[in-house]
Amino acid sequence: MLLLAAATACGRHSHPQSTPVEPGGEIALQVINHHWLDVTVYVLHNGARTRIGLVTAATSQTFILPSRILGQAREIALLGEVVGNRDAARTETLIVKPGQSIEWTLEIDLRRSSVAVY
């Protein structure tokens, strides 16, 4: 009986009860482009600028950002440059945790664009 109790206890340690699974750490970035021109999207992080992709005029696009892009401080900013134009939009610094998502809406007047972290 003592062996059975010990075996059961060992079994519990090797197979823990189910716990919530941490997300892979990726960040979903949805860009909604209301501008009439295409916009190239960059992430500003750790003093670097990483090109994420292009969002065609008047469409939306979802990008999956790797968690490594957050760095230790988990601070990023988004930069959107209009293709063929000097217009650009930049967000304030965002503090993002792995598994969260970002929604960035680019308006025709880029100064009126908005961003939200969920």
Domains in the chain: boundaries: 20-117
Q: How confident is the model at residue 25 (pLDDT cuts 50, 70, 90)?
A: confident
What pLDDT score was predicted for residue 24?
66
Angle, CA of 107, 48 and 28, to the nearest 5°: 50
The beta strand positions in 5-100, using DSSP E, are 27-33, 39-45, 48-55, 60-65, 75-82, 88-90, 94-95
And the tokens for 75? 């601070």
Q: How confident is the model at residue 51 (pLDDT cuts 50, 70, 90)?
A: very high
Mean pLDDT, rounded, of the chain: 85
Q: Which CATH number fits domain 20-117: 2.60.40.2890, 3.30.70.1140, 3.10.290.10, 1.10.10.10?
A: 2.60.40.2890
Region of residue 7 (phi > 0: left; psi between -120 and 50: alpha; otherwise: beta):
alpha
Residue 113 has pLDDT above 90, yes or no: yes
DSSP state of 11: H
Beta strands 114-117; 27-33: pairing state: unpaired
80-104 pLDDT tens trace: 999 999 999 999 999 999 899 999 9
Higher confidence at residue 71 or residue 18?
71
Q: What is the DSSP string of 44-57?
A: EETTEEEEEEEE-T
Task: Tell whether pTM > 0.75.
Answer: yes
**Integer angstrom CA distances of residue 47 from 38, 44, 70, 73:** 25, 7, 11, 12
